Amino acid sequence: MKIKKYRVCIIGTGYVGLVSGTCFAQIGHHVICVDNNKEKIENLQKGILPIYEPGLEKMILKNKRAGRLFFTTDIAEAVKKSEVVFIAVHTPTKENGETNLRYVEDVSKEVAKAMDKYKVVVSKSTMPVNTGQKIKEIITKFCPKGLTFDIVSNPEFLKEGSAIKDFLKPDRVVIGVESKKAEKIMRDIYKPISSPIIFTSIESAEIIKHACNAFLATKISFINAIACICEKNSANVKEVAVAMGLDKRIGPDFLKAGIGFGGSCFPKDVSAFINVAKKSGYDFNLLKEVKKINKKQREIFLDKIIKNVPALKGKNIAVWGLSFKPNTDDMREAPSIDIINELVLKGAVVKAFDPVATKKAKEVFKDKIIYCKNAQEALKNADALVILTEWENFKKITPEIIKKLMKSPNVFDGRNIFSPQKMARLGFNYYSIGKK
């Protein structure tokens, strides 16, 4: 299969930009990653990454050595050298739930001023519907007169912890276009990836991303609501979820009860989609309830700890897991933040361990908690163990070892990684999600 290689510019070296840029280089394109953070670019040039993602460091090194991947702070030069420009900058949420597009607008203006010939400008970050048209207006206003360009929406569907696989072997690639020329270029760019490509209007592509994440968040909140009902009726949410998941109309994914979703996508995208709906004249009450259930799930879990470990002041609480999910160091919207802060507020001594997120956790908690070198160290003399992230290596530590190291056998499992029956046989006071 003959692959046409393109000169690609990725603006923004956050999670989406860095993974996407590296993977585009991996499939043969010439990629320049741009960021206005000089220190971050200098570190990337040295092979020091701002995020943890399995396999990414090796892939960056491989493509740098192959002469396909470069890093710079010079956006104008990068745009001039590229045929396709991807915008992958941060799109934070305002207090009212609206997406802050300031960085997108600023970058669009810089791209326009640097353009010297036809370009395809692609929005890669998650952006609310009609952002593509806004980018088009900005570029039209600030680019040289008479210059032609195309706007494309190509939303990412990367899960932290499996992002490289998600990029190279996706369920589908969604691309919103306005012209056949842009469609052909985008089809060429993704030709090495043997997955279905869905071409839509720009507006449909923008809504697809929000709709997907909102639906998955709804599924998580739904099973967590079911977990609450199970606990009140001596049922087991795992058994319920297995039976539900075997229904092909429902499927098993995202039916794991726990302490709610976190991270940079679901909380932000749910809020943004509620705001998009409101601006469109629709009151999305369903998603408002999804947010409430997610927040409530943390409160319910915390209440279990407070109720069953009375007089928390001075008690040693071991915490396993700080990142919002395993295989990432991302602390954004992590359930651990609310839960640990409340435990500290009540006077508990929190001794925590996370395989990769400690550095970023220190930026959040500062010196409020004790950071341990391993999971066993956190357990020593603990009055309770609180499990907040389901890292695989936690599952390898036997309950027998846990009990031997702890002062009191109280385990609050927010991710259901142990068997309630086995924990009960060994004499634990075991509190999980969705099981009486």
d(Cα 213, Cα 256) in Å, to the nearest integer? 16
pLDDT (mean) for 51-59? 95
pLDDT at 318 over 70: yes
Whether 152 shows a pLDDT value over 80: the answer reads: yes
Q: Is the pLDDT of residue 294 over 80?
A: yes
Closest CA to 372 of 409, 405, 410, 330: 405
Q: Do domains 7-200 and 215-431 have the same CATH topology?
A: yes
Show me where the domains of the chain are located.
7-200, 215-431
Residue 117 CB-half CA count within 13 A: 5
Architecture of domain 7-200: 3-Layer(aba) Sandwich (3.40)
Per-residue pLDDT tens over the stretch 336-367: 999 999 999 999 999 999 999 999 999 999 99
At residue 436, the pLDDT reads 67
Question: Is the pTM of the predicted complex or chain greater than 0.85?
Answer: yes
- pLDDT band for position 2 (cuts 50, 70, 90): confident
pLDDT at 94: 87
Active site residue 265: yes
Q: What percent of the chain has pLDDT over 90?
A: 96
Are the C-beta atoms of residues 326 and 289 closer than 8 Å to each other? Answer: no
Q: CA-to-CA distance for 162 and 52, rounded, in angstroms?
A: 11
Domain 215-431 coded CATH 3.30.70.1380: no
Q: What value does the mean pLDDT of the chain take?
A: 96
33, 143, 265, 372: the active-site residue: 265
32 CB-side CA count, 13 A: 19
Q: What is the pLDDT of residues 364-395, one digit of tens each?
A: 999 999 999 999 999 999 999 999 999 999 99
Phi first, then psi, for residue 327 (nearest 5°) are 65, 25
pLDDT at site 310: 85
> Which residue(s) pair with 149 in the sheet?
119
CA-wise closest residue to 77 among 45, 42, 33 = 33
> How large is the average pLDDT for residues 195-224?
97
CA distance 403 to 428: 8
Across the range 167-184, mean pLDDT stands at 97
Q: Does 264 have pLDDT greater than 90?
A: no
